[in-house]
Amino acid sequence: MNNSWFTLYINRYVESLMELVEFRDKKSDDHKVLSNFIDAIVKVRNRHHDVVPTMAQGVLEYRDSSKMDPFINQNIQYFLDRFYMNRISIRMLINQHTLIFDNNNNVGNPKHIGCIDPCCDVVDLVHDAFQSAQMLCDQYYFASPDLKLTQVNGKAAGQPIHIVYVPSHLFHMLFELFKNAMRATVEHQENKPSLDPVEVTVVLGKEDLSIKISDRGGGVPVRKIESLFSYTYSTAPKPVMEKNSTPLAGFGYGLPISRLYAKYFHGDLNLCSISGYGTDALIYLKALSTDSVEKLPVFNKSVSKHYQTTIEADDWCVPSKEPKNVSRQTAAA
């Protein structure tokens, strides 16, 4: 891909790698070296803080300037899933290292182990993420739906729901899903005197922690569900990049990145939609910390083969992806 956004980040990653390679042969028990290493990884983290929106803009520009065939789209999806999953892992390691070993860092929560909360209050996070999304929705639409919350602790009835997790990861997923639910609700119900609430159900089972977010935002046709997780697809106009504002939607990376956050510790994120009614978004996380292990991409011969594999013709009768425009056909007749 010949794209200025990608070239910019290739150069940044090379620069970061060269800075970190300098520490390869240095003594790990030297306090000065450890201090310099912390400064270096913080610098790396800050350098790459905007990689997701920047890369997303590059992908959309590439999509708009060339003919995107299914083979190219498949490779972009495969590459970015692995690229962003690696980024999640690297930032997790950097944050964990700085929070534990940087004596000058007073940002961390004393009850956390680095960025991991051994007693993460899921319902509190739901409220925090909802309020943040609600403020953004009010800013754009001057209206927002309310929250209706139900919680079920299947392991200890009546007790608060806690798991071992990274709060910032769960907040990211919830915030993105709430943004989508609120936008859909406000736009679909703009002529109603009051908006239906966004309903959230939090259930802790023996193996899974499940969060269902339900809206009455009109839903999405079944044929579009998988497209919502594509980096080259967005249901909103492409926003203008501004330093001091958060776009409500437009780059198309919100759902695929959120799904990666869920999958990072072997969870998942799925959508179930009823066109004309609304959408259910479901987050599945591991309830047991022993099951929450990293899911990371492996680099082997299979990777290179994947980029060379072409998409074979379907051996089933497949209709057009877009519905037929009957009015146009009638006019032509």
Spot the catalytic one: 172, 188, 199, 286: 172
Rounded Cα distance, 2 and 30, in Å: 43
- Residue whose entry in the numeric block shows the structure tokens 């082997």: 300
What would the two tokens of residue 212 be?
């269902």
Nearest 5°: CA angle at 299, between 50 and 23?
Answer: 60
Positive or negative CA dihedral for 291, 295, 301, 303? Answer: positive
Amino acid at 46: N
Helices 51-65 & 70-101, crossing angle to 10 degrees? 170
What would the two tokens of residue 65 be?
């300037």
Spot the catalytic one: 169, 176, 188, 286: 176
Spot the catalytic one: 180, 188, 199, 286: 180
> Nearest Cα to 102, choosing from 48, 49, 44, 40?
40
Alpha helix (H) residue ranges in the chain: 4-21, 31-47, 51-65, 70-101, 122-141, 167-188, 254-264, 301-308, 326-332
324 is annotated as an active-site residue: no
172 is annotated as an active-site residue: yes
176 is annotated as an active-site residue: yes
Q: How far is CA 78 from CA 72, 131, 172, 310, in A?
A: 10, 34, 22, 13
Find residue 124's DSSP bridge partners. Answer: none
Tell me which H or E stretch contains 147: strand 147-153
What would the two tokens of residue 157 be?
């009835």
Helices 70-101 & 31-47, crossing angle to 10 degrees? 140
Spot the catalytic one: 162, 179, 188, 286: 179
> Nearest Cα to 256, choosing from 233, 239, 282?
233
Task: Give the residue numbers marked as catalytic.
Answer: 172, 176, 179-180
